[in-house]
């Protein structure tokens, strides 16, 4: 049976690494991006180079209209979706809560929370045996920030990831009898471009000594955990979390 995965925000970082690993494991890959078409097409080209199948789809995962259109295009191009990785998300400049604007809060919460709800909703409609589907798997990309709170830096981001943890637990129980497993990974300090968005590109190197393993993680290390949770090897795991934090 063909396997098709949608990975939101997969033009760079953890999403791109997950897309490449998924292709190597035999998935058709739907590469979603918001703005960076060139980066998304680079991921698609790399997948094609190794003999895989991939298509890049532009869509704002926090827009219901965009998400419905995205899933309709995937239906047309690949048929049945079997896996979803909710990876899209943003953070903004390091700041205390008392100086965060309402606009910032809305941007972060919409991008990081609403996107997961909308994409999961459409995935359930396609995977659930209740709707005539044959099952599937969803993996949410949370963050260790959901447990630490990211004080003085990104409490809004941390709160959004706490919401993703709650979604993971609740949705896993809703659809467990319908053939869908819902799990999550919680990355720690990983070398990706997202830190530049927070105003500190070298953040991982600054904080890595606070990690018991004394190093930052690589996107590929997160991707491997995501693909395990999507696989049949995790067939009895739902509502579960893998912390990829170097022991933090």
Per the residue annotation, which of 33, 57, 154, 157 is the catalytic one?
A: 157
* Most distant CA pair in the chain, distance: 52
The token pair at 103 is 């606009």
Q: How far apart are the C-alpha atoms of 158 and 165, rounded to whole Å?
A: 11
C-beta of residue 244 within 8 angstroms of C-beta of residue 216? no
CA nearest neighbour of 232 among 20, 25, 10, 86: 25
The token pair at 248 is 């933090």
Q: How far apart are the C-alpha atoms of 28 and 88, rounded to whole Å?
A: 19
Q: Is 157 a catalytic residue?
A: yes
Q: Give the number of residues written for the chain.
A: 248
Q: How far apart are the C-alpha atoms of 98 and 81, rounded to whole Å?
A: 42
Degrees to nearest 5, angle at CA 202 with 164 and 90: 25
Q: How far apart are the C-alpha atoms of 29 and 12, rounded to whole Å?
A: 14
Helices (H) and strands (E) in the chain, counts: 10, 7
Within 8 A by CB and 6+ apart from 131, the residues are 124, 125
- CA torsion 240-110-189-241 (nearest 10°) is 0
Question: Residues with catalytic annotation?
Answer: 157
């Amino acid at each position: 049976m063909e396997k098709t995965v949608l990975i939101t925000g997969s033009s760079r970082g953890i999403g791109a690494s997950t897309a490449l690993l998924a292709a190597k494991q035999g998935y058709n890959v739907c590469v979603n991006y918001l703005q960076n078409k060139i980066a998304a097409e680079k991921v698609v080209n790399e997948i094609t180079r190794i003999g895989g199948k991939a298509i890049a789809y532009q869509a704002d995962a926090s827009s219901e209209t965009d998400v419905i259109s995205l899933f309709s295009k995937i239906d047309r191009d690949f048929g049945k979706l079997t896996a979803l990785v909710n990876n899209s998300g943003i953070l903004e400049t390091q700041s205390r809560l008392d100086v965060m604007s309402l606009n910032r809060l809305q941007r972060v919460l919409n991008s990081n929370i609403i996107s997961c709800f909308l994409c999961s909703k459409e995935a359930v409609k396609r995977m659930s045996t209740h709707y005539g589907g044959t099952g599937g798997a969803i993996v949410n990309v949370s963050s260790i920030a959901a447990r630490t709170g990211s004080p003085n830096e990104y409490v809004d981001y941390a709160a959004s990831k706490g919401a993703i943890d709650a979604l993971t637990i609740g949705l896993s129980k809703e659809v467990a009898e319908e053939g869908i497993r819902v799990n999550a990974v919680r990355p720690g300090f990983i070398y990706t471009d997202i830190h530049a968005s927070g105003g500190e590109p070298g953040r991982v190197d600054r904080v890595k000594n606070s990690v018991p393993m004394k190093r930052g993680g690589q996107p590929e290390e997160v991707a491997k955990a995501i693909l395990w949770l999507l696989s049949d090897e995790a067939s009895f795991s739902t509502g579960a979390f893998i912390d990829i934090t170097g022991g933090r």
